[in-house]
Chain A
Amino acid sequence: MMPSLRCRRLYCSSILMLALSTILPVILACGGTETVEKVVERTVVVEKQIEKVVEKPVAQTVVVEKQIEKVVEKPVAQTVVVVATPTPGAPTTAPSGPTGKVVVAETRVIPPVMLPSKQGAGVEFVYVDWGVFEYLLRAKAHTSKETPDPAEAIFGIGIGWEADTTAETVTFTIRKGVKFHGDWGELTAQDVAFSFNEGNKEGTRFYRNTRDRVDRWEVVDNYLVRIHYRKGQFDPRFVEGLWNAGGGNTPLISKKLVETVGEEKAVTMMIGTGPFISKKWVADDEVVLEANANYWREDGQPQVKQIRIVAIPEEQAKIAAMKTGEVDIAAISSKFLRETLDGVKGSKARPVGAAQLQVVFWGGNYWAKTWVEEKKQVFPRDGLKADAAHPWIGDPRDPASMERAKKVREALTISINSDLINKKVLAGLGRSAHIYWGAVDDKSPFFQERWRIKYDPNRAKQLLSEAGVAAGSTIPFWVPPDNPAVDPEVGFAVAQMWRDIGLKTAIEATAYAARRPTLVARTIDIPWLHHGGVGGRPDTELMGTMRPTAGFSHGLEATDEIIDLYFANRTEPNFLKRIENNTKITDWILEWRFVTPTVVQQAHYVAGPRVLVWEPHSFAWKDFLSPETIVVR
């Protein structure tokens, strides 16, 4: 792929602008003699200080200078080099060893499945979040409100990278001195390549395998590993793909271990590189973790000696255990937060992880014609039943049906009083949502006022009668009871509001796993409540789950034109263009009410009085994480 000169200039100028915008304020902010001194220190002591203070501007300047030179001299190959030279695995500077024990209650404890190719449940991020394994890249800090700059993702096992957009590869530099638990030796590029290839191999169950985009990972030398993308599939945002769960990111495992003990035995051996070592891992029961004395990250040393994570499925039992002090940390739903904080003296609540959008998907609207990857025509799907019993489904072949169904979906959308749901069901701790574009809320610069949903039950009734839906008609609504990211009470409240405009709602409470086959087979034809990610970067591609594939879908498929926008965003290097594409998609979703967002709920964890310090960092799934920051009394 030969980027045009204009493209390159655009790219360079955006990097330049980014660099300038970071340096300028710093320079402007530096006023006194002290800061002048700082500047001097910075340039001299760059290498040492990177670990302690984020030296954003310095790193950037290096990049900019080099980069501009290269571009001018070699117009053919374009390379972007970001290298920082931190001190290699220095011994801990923590004053004393880790002390104390902590007990955490989670709703589920999943089984130990170390091999990525066997992880089909889609919840393997707990292995990293609980501190046993690590991903390749890591930024200094992620919080649920702030996403770091990808250029800063140099504080993990991968300390730098070199991307070659022509060859469609990225070469990563691996930190030295990262040791696996037990006696499994140092982590090298062989382990990295092995981990990713394992998750991407033939017959993999890995929930987020990237076999459609990534060809293989290759070992260049002991500390250099290279990813090879398939032709035309280079991911310009590979950094974000490798610093948290999702997008084919795999926890790093030991090649030597798997080859020594064999796959069958290796599956349950939880040997990683993280701050905690797994001593006992029993599904549905408990996990016992002990501090890793040889952990490489200086600012991430474990502060407690032992962490026990226990499974307590019943929420009242969790709250009871917190009250008696048997459990120190637990996730508590918004509606019980007040009760728990009152009942456990000295406890504090923290928002953890990305908030989850609760969104109604109008199952049955299968409008896509082409399965791009397989070059097949898939229309019409089995679930496309645009008849009187399914008034929310529109058939693209019949414009009248599309108009009618649009009115029905519109009516059902504006009859939801999301502020009330937030106030009552989420105890005011969430917020109402207007768009499916999770990374953009109504305070974001990319939000458009025209997208705001206005609660109007009277207009809803009017629309229903225009669409020919008689009062008393039944709308089925599937509200899965076992999706931890979805609060069924939100679904019940929505169903209630539909009753208020004269319809009957028949709630279906089937388990998610039981219904999933109908999602995959594109036979589901009823509206259902699911979650959507919130946060992350606003330029991520949207609608990936609403296109033809052989796997999971959300029960609907957008038109070919919209799906093209999805594919465009997968490889589009320009940030603003990606935003533009997503804006187009959001406009389209709103015009057709393709999906209906309701509220956003934020997960909270409550930490009891014994916990002095805990700084959960993550903008991904809500989950117990950052165990290394816990300090107990």
Chain B
Amino acid sequence: MTRFLVRRLIYLVVVILIATVLVFTLSRLSGDPRALFLSEYTSQADWDAWGREMGLDKPYVFQYAIWLGKAVRGDFGVSLRDQTPAFGVIVSRIPATLQLALGAFVFALVTGIPLGVLSAVKRGSAWDYIGRIFALLGQSMPAFWLGIMLILVLAVQLDWFPTGRRGGITHFILPSITLGWGAAAGFVRLIRSSMLEILDSEYIKFARSKGVGGPTIIWKHAFKNAAIAPLTFAGLLLAGLITGAVVTETVFAWPGLGRLGVDAVFNNDFPIMAGVVLIVSVMYVGVNLVVDVAYALIDPRIRYG
């Protein structure tokens, strides 16, 4: 087990290194950072002074090493836009992002799993079609379109919800639906196919023949077995929600990491950019680590060793 954890941690470090090198190189390639904020009244002396201050006169590798050395101590540098430590800026956005990701995740679970189960159990019936249409919609509607439609219909026409921004419970229902529908679609399909498979399997037929009847079969045996694949999916999903929320955050004016990252890219604000990539990668690998450990604990047969 320890070996397993250690290997995963090494992997985490590798991911971070590669991701940040990528971002660093691309950021430097996209142009001289000084060019972003020095005006038409800049003198040559100013320009040079700023170059020295930002360490631009040293080779790339040095610049990266310096950044990395500071980053591991939690110093991502000072955000070019906010003029405050980037670490603080990023961290302040995490709660909003987590809230939205969890909201979407809950929506996906609450709608996806029951529909998936019903769809599989009542194969061919109306429920099956409802489930499949639900999944199809989730996979074919762009998030920004869905978000705007929800706002127009549910918030403006019917006045059931506010049109956006972070606030109380009502504020985060529409964004959760927007972000979560795609994920819900995934759940429906996965659960459905897993359950179909298991229901058809010999194991269940055997159990049935022994007289264990009806709902007991479905919930106790089939579901537990079918839940394994979706569990992995859930891990991937949660991490994916964090990075994929940009569109939802923009449409609903939600102050999360996605928007922060995108804005940082557009402003070539390297400290924030690199910081977001780093944090998101850590979250992703972290979540997967937790899922894998849970997996390994639940099912002793599965060991990656």
Q: Direct contact between A and B in the complex (CB less than 8 angstroms)?
A: yes
> Which residues of B sit under 8 angstroms from A311, Cβ to Cβ?
253, 255
Q: A120-B37, A267-B84, A313-B250 are in contact. Are A513 and B266 (CB under 8 A)?
A: yes
Question: In the complex, A210→B38 CA distance in Å?
Answer: 12
Q: Counting CB contacts under 8 A, is A326 at the interface? A: yes
In the complex, residue of chain B having the shortest beta-carbon distance to the beta carbon of A313: B250
Question: In the complex, A590→B296 CA distance in Å?
Answer: 75
> Which residues of B sit under 8 angstroms from A211, Cβ to Cβ?
41, 43, 46
Q: A211-B43, A511-B266, A549-B41 are in contact. Are A521 and B35 (CB under 8 A)?
A: yes
Q: Verify A314–B47 contact, CB threshold 8 A.
A: no
Q: Verify B40–A513 contact, CB threshold 8 A.
A: no
CB distance from B106 to the nearest CB of A (A): 23
Q: Counting CB contacts under 8 A, is A285 at the interface? A: yes
Q: Which residue in A205, A512, A514, A545 is a CB contact (below 8 Å) of B40?
A: A545
Q: Verify A310–B31 contact, CB threshold 8 A.
A: no
Interface residues on B, range: 35 or more
Question: In the complex, A320→B152 CA distance in Å?
Answer: 7
Q: How many A-B residue pairs have CB under 8 A?
A: 151
Question: In the complex, A316→B148 CA distance in Å?
Answer: 7
Q: Determine, out of B111-119, B135-143, B155-163, the stretch whose residues face the partner at the interface.
A: B155-163
Q: Determine, out of A389-397, A471-479, A550-558, the stretch whose residues face the partner at the interface.
A: A550-558
Q: Verify A550–B38 contact, CB threshold 8 A.
A: yes
CB distance from A526 to the nearest CB of B (A): 16
Q: Verify B40–A552 contact, CB threshold 8 A.
A: yes
> Which residues of A sit under 8 angstroms from B37, Cβ to Cβ?
120-122, 205, 207
Q: Determine, out of B11-19, B75-83, B184-192, the stretch whose residues face the partner at the interface.
A: B75-83
Cβ contacts A527-567/B at 8 Å (1 or 0 each): 00000000000000000110101111100000000000000
DSSP class of B's interface residues: helix, strand, loop or mixed? loop
In the complex, residue of chain B having the shortest beta-carbon distance to the beta carbon of A545: B40
> Which residues of A sit under 8 angstroms from B79, Cβ to Cβ?
111
Q: Counting CB contacts under 8 A, is B53 at the interface? A: yes
Q: Verify A514–B41 contact, CB threshold 8 A.
A: no
CB distance from A67 to the nearest CB of B (A): 33
Q: Counting CB contacts under 8 A, is A37 at the interface? A: no
Q: Verify A212–B260 contact, CB threshold 8 A.
A: no
Question: In the complex, A310→B255 CA distance in Å?
Answer: 11
Q: Which residue in B36, B82, B253 is a CB contact (below 8 Å) of A283?
A: B82
Q: Counting CB contacts under 8 A, is B209 at the interface? A: no
Question: In the complex, A373→B30 CA distance in Å?
Answer: 28
> Which residues of B sit under 8 angstroms from A316, Cβ to Cβ?
148, 151-152
Q: Verify B81–A121 contact, CB threshold 8 A.
A: yes
Q: Counting CB contacts under 8 A, is A321 at the interface? A: yes
Q: Counting CB contacts under 8 A, is A299 at the interface? A: no
> Which residues of A sit under 8 angstroms from B31, Cβ to Cβ?
514, 516-518, 521
Interface residues of B in 154-201 (CB under 8 A from A): 155-156, 159, 162-166
In the complex, residue of chain B having the shortest beta-carbon distance to the beta carbon of A115: B83
Q: Verify A118–B83 contact, CB threshold 8 A.
A: yes
Q: Counting CB contacts under 8 A, is A96 at the interface? A: no
Q: A120-B36, A284-B255 are in contact. Are A326 and B43 (CB under 8 A)?
A: no
CB distance from B135 to the nearest CB of A (A): 27
Cβ contacts A271-315/B at 8 Å (1 or 0 each): 000000000001111100000000000000000000000111110
> Which residues of B sit under 8 angstroms from A286, Cβ to Cβ?
165
In the complex, residue of chain B having the shortest beta-carbon distance to the beta carbon of A325: B159
DSSP class of A's interface residues: helix, strand, loop or mixed? loop
Q: Counting CB contacts under 8 A, is A33 at the interface? A: no
Interface residues of A in 106-124 (CB under 8 A from B): 110-111, 113, 115, 118-122
> Which residues of A sit under 8 angstroms from B47, Cβ to Cβ?
550-551
Q: Verify A113–B82 contact, CB threshold 8 A.
A: yes
CB distance from B98 to the nearest CB of A (A): 16
Q: Which of A113, A316, A317 has the most CB of B within 10 A?
A: A317
Q: A212-B43, A549-B41 are in contact. Are A310 and B82 (CB under 8 A)?
A: no
Q: Which of A120, A203, A313, A513 has the most CB of B within 10 A?
A: A513
Question: In the complex, A511→B253 CA distance in Å?
Answer: 20
Q: Counting CB contacts under 8 A, is A202 at the interface? A: yes
> Which residues of B sit under 8 angstroms from A593, Cβ to Cβ?
none
Q: Counting CB contacts under 8 A, is A209 at the interface? A: yes
Question: In the complex, A119→B151 CA distance in Å?
Answer: 36
Q: Counting CB contacts under 8 A, is A15 at the interface? A: no
Across the A-B interface, give the 7 residue pairs with the lowest CB-CB distance, nearest first: A517-B31, A551-B42, A120-B37, A517-B35, A520-B35, A111-B82, A550-B47
Using a CB–CB distance below 8 Å, which chain B residues touch chain A? 30-32, 34-44, 46-47, 49-50, 53, 79-84, 89, 92, 148, 151-152, 155-156, 159, 162-166, 250-253, 255, 259-260, 263, 265-268
Using a CB–CB distance below 8 Å, which chain A residues touch chain B? 110-111, 113, 115, 118-122, 202-203, 205, 207-212, 267-268, 282-286, 310-314, 316-317, 320-321, 323-324, 326, 373-374, 482, 511-514, 516-521, 544-545, 547, 549-553
For the complex with contacts A317-B251, A373-B43, 14 further pairs of A-B residues with Cβ separation under 8 Å are: A115-B83, A120-B80, A284-B260, A284-B263, A313-B259, A316-B152, A320-B151, A324-B156, A514-B30, A520-B34, A520-B38, A521-B31, A521-B32, A552-B35
What are 24 residue pairs bridging A and B, where the CB atoms are less than 8 Å apart in the complex? A111-B81, A111-B89, A113-B83, A121-B37, A122-B39, A205-B37, A211-B43, A211-B46, A285-B166, A312-B164, A313-B259, A316-B152, A320-B156, A323-B156, A324-B156, A374-B43, A516-B35, A516-B36, A517-B30, A520-B35, A551-B42, A552-B35, A552-B42, A553-B40
